[in-house]
């Protein structure tokens, strides 16, 4: 709607008990593009306000049935947006001031009035009233839109939450698929994985690693062997120090293979980064990237240190299984070049703690087994089938069956064996 149309639709109420004054005001304002409604009694004007909505109320002060101040007060209650103007003689100034102070009158004119000023005041009054109504209308629209926006946001948040929950479930399912592949492919490595998880968790506690990074480390520990899945058994069963040059080149790529696979999934990008560091050493002698210490994060050092100790204990380095203390004795010296002092000190504490715990264990090859030894962890087949449960006490028949199984499957079995005061195991037969 244009401004001209709005002015033409404007309604002006004029109230005065003197007929001559009413005619004079109608004559003055009659040429303006607005509707004029004239009343000789205040009560008649109030009655009309029940049906009509004036933009401007122009009233005399002195009237017999109701004075102009009281009319303005009641009109303000009916139509608070209406511009209210009193027209009065000089003697009524005090009444006008009282009305203005109460907020019921916006403007007043003195009799006799100036024609041009009268028209200007009325036109400005119409504009002010219509501006107030437009603003109120816009505020109502804005409030409605805000309500709608709030509802839309709530709906969107619910949809996002639902979508996020679906993504979490999909991510969890993907993670479990990867973990299942690793665990089935390396079922015989379950004791080593158990030790690795213990080392990682204890190191996280001692080094005050927050929950988020601890969770990333736990994921990385579970998936660290993912890149080995496609490697042949003959290579995987050969201790690292006994690999040929070509075998070592192939083997050392497994952290990169795992990392490149996992990094395609956003929630697994940080575990992928850690897996890439699992065999790095701070003096540059690690693999696959030969990183220096300042290039290996604290969490990367934790996984690398726990991996090195686990691999040494279970015979993956030189073919000899060691107790945890013995494995640490092998690594304590060179580890000073590999990891930060904080990680080395924490690892030494963890070794001592785990070695003193009841139910401590060491890794033994089949040739090292003796009757009376007890399993510290389940022995699983390559296909995830339970062969021997935790706590099983070995006898000679069981040992003979394990030796036969190892020969028939060409798999090098290593068992987690409970110990009290460990003795150095004999070399594999």
- Rounded Cα distance between 27 and 19, Å, is 12
Same domain, 76 and 190: no
Can you tell me the distance from the alpha carbon of 178 to that of 262, in angstroms, rounded to the nearest whole number? 9
Residues 127/10, Cβ–Cβ less than 8 Å = no
How many domains does the chain fold into? 2
| Cα 365 off chain centre by | 47
Same domain, 190 and 111: no
pLDDT score recorded for residue 101: 66
Same domain for 413 and 300: yes
Asked which of 136, 167, 202 is the last residue of a domain, the reply is 136
Rounded Cα distance between 269 and 221, Å, is 14
- Considering the domain architecture, whether residues 247 and 344 belong to the same structural domain is answered as yes
Q: Does residue 264 fall inside a structural domain?
A: yes
Range of the structural domain that residue 27 is part of? 3-136
- CATH number of the domain that residue 118 is part of: 3.40.50.2300
Say if 155 falls within a structural domain.
no
270 lies in the same domain as 374? yes
- Does any domain span residue 141? no
Peptide bond into 64 cis (omega under 30): no
- CA distances to 327, 362, 402, 418 from 392, rounded to whole Å, are 25, 15, 13, 10
Phi, psi of 157 (to 5 degrees): -60, -40
Residue 242's CATH number: 1.10.3210.10
Q: What pLDDT score was predicted for residue 188?
A: 64
- pTM for this prediction: 0.54
In this predicted structure, what is the pLDDT of residue 4? 47
- Residues 248 and 394 grouped into a single domain: yes
CA–CA distances in Å: residue 286 to residues 93, 261, 309, 316, 391: 98, 21, 14, 15, 37
**What is the maximum alpha-carbon separation in the chain?**
131
User: Which residue shows structure tokens 């504490």?
Assistant: 349
Q: 252 and 116, same structural domain?
A: no
Last residue within a domain, chosen from 136, 158, 173 = 136
User: Does 336 lie in the same domain as 229?
Assistant: yes
The pLDDT score that the predictor gives to residue 92 is 61
Q: Are residues 311 and 246 in the same domain?
A: yes
Q: Does residue 157 lie in a domain region?
A: no
Residues 88, 17, single domain; the answer is yes
Predicted local distance difference test score (pLDDT) of residue 255:
95
* Shared-domain flag, residues 88 and 231: no
Q: What is the model's pLDDT at position 245?
A: 92
Q: 258 in a domain, yes or no?
A: yes
Closest CA to 127 of 34, 42, 24: 34
| Contact between 253 and 262 (Cβ < 8 Å) | no
Give residue 203's Cα distance to chain centre.
27
Question: What pLDDT, on the 0 to 100 scale, is given for residue 43?
Answer: 95
Report pLDDT for 22.
Answer: 94
In terms of domains, do 91 and 223 share one?
no
Q: pLDDT truncated to tens, each residue of the chain (429 aa)? A: 444 444 558 999 999 999 999 999 999 998 899 999 999 999 999 999 999 999 999 999 888 889 888 999 999 999 999 999 988 876 566 666 666 666 578 888 888 899 999 999 999 999 999 999 999 989 989 888 888 888 888 888 888 777 767 766 766 777 777 777 777 777 667 778 888 988 998 999 999 999 899 989 998 998 898 889 888 888 888 999 999 999 999 999 999 999 998 888 888 899 999 999 999 999 999 999 999 999 999 999 999 999 999 999 988 899 888 888 999 999 999 999 999 999 999 999 999 888 876 456 677 888 888 898 888 777 766 555 567 877 888 999 999 988 888 887 666 677 878 764 434 344 343
Establish if 61 belongs to a structural domain.
yes
Query: Does residue 162 form part of some domain?
Result: no
* Token pair 């949809």 in the structure block, residue: 159
Q: How far apart are CA 4 and CA 409, in angstroms?
A: 98
Tell me, yes or no, whether 38 lies in a domain: yes
Q: Give, in order, the Cα–Cα distances in Å from 241 to each of 184, 218, 236, 244, 317.
A: 25, 27, 12, 9, 6
């Amino acid at each position: 709607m244009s401004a001209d149309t709005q002015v033409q639709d404007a309604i002006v109420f004029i109230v005065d008990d003197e007929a001559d004054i009413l005619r004079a005001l109608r004559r003055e304002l009659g040429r303006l593009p607005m509707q004029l409604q004239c009343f000789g009694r205040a009560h008649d004007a109030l009655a009309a306000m029940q049906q009509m909505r004036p933009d401007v109320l122009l009233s005399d002060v002195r009237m017999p049935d109701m004075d102009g101040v009281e009319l303005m007060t009641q009109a303000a209650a009916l139509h608070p947006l209406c511009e209210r103007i009193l027209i009065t003689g000089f003697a009524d100034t005090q009444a006008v001031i009282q009305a203005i102070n109460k907020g019921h009158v916006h403007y007043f004119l003195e009799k006799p009035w100036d024609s041009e000023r009268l028209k200007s005041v009325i036109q400005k009054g119409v504009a002010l009233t219509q501006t107030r109504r437009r603003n109120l209308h816009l505020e109502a629209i804005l409030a409605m839109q805000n309500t709608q926006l709030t509802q839309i946001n709530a709906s969107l948040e619910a949809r996002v939450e639902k979508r996020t929950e679906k993504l979490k479930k999909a991510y969890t399912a993907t993670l479990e698929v990867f973990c299942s592949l690793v665990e089935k492919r390396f079922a015989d490595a379950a004791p080593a994985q158990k030790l690795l998880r213990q080392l990682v968790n204890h190191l996280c506690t001692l080094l005050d690693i927050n929950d988020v990074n601890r969770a990333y480390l736990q994921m990385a520990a579970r998936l660290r062997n993912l890149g080995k899945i496609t490697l042949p058994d003959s290579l995987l069963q050969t201790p690292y120090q006994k690999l040929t040059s070509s075998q070592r080149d192939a083997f050392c790529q497994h952290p990169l293979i795992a990392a490149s696979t996992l990094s395609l999934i956003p929630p697994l990008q940080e575990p992928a980064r850690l897996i890439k560091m699992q065999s790095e050493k701070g003096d540059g002698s690690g693999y696959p990237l030969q990183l220096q210490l300042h290039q290996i994060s604290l969490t990367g050092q934790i996984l690398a240190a726990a991996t090195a100790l686990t691999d040494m204990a279970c015979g993956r380095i030189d073919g000899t299984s060691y107790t945890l203390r013995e494995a640490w004795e092998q690594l304590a010296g060179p580890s000073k070049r590999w990891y930060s002092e904080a990680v080395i000190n924490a690892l030494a504490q963890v070794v001592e703690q785990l070695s003193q715990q009841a139910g401590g264990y060491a890794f033994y090859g089949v040739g090292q087994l003796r009757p009376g030894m007890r399993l510290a962890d389940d022995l699983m087949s390559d296909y995830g089938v339970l062969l021997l449960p935790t706590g099983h006490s070995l006898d000679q028949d069981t040992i003979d069956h394990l030796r036969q199984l190892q020969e028939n499957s060409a798999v090098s079995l290593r068992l987690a064996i409970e110990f009290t005061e460990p003795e150095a195991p004999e070399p594999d037969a």
